[in-house]
Amino acid sequence: GLHVDLSISGCSDSDGEMMYSLDGEELWFADFINHRGVEPMPSFIDHVSYREGTYEQAVANQQICRSNLKNSRVGMKDIPLEN
């Protein structure tokens, strides 16, 4: 059958999110406060693991996201709210 695979990535000046899910079940998320990746699956199922470096990639993506956010603010600074 068909499955729904989803990844969410986003940031703000003070927070960020990176998460992977399959069929509505969270498989992995980045815990930026405790500096680690979390696989919140129960122990009684076949465990799906993400490769080493997934958390470090999420941290790098957050830096890129914040840089893009800053660039967007600079680029949109003088654009009028209405044309």
Where in the chain are the domains? 5-76
DSSP code of residue 6: E
Q: Render each residue's pLDDT in the chain as its tens digit; 83 residues.
A: 799 999 999 999 999 999 999 999 999 999 999 999 999 988 888 877 889 999 999 999 999 999 999 999 888 887 777 76
Tell me if the pTM is above 0.85: no
CATH 3.30.565.10 assigned to domain 5-76? The reply is: no
Pairing of strands 36-38, 16-22: unpaired
Residue with tokens 């998320």: 29
What backbone torsions phi and psi does residue 8 show, to the nearest 5 degrees?
Answer: -125, 130
Cβ contacts of 24 within 8 Å, gap of 6 or more: 4
d(CA 51, CA 40): 15
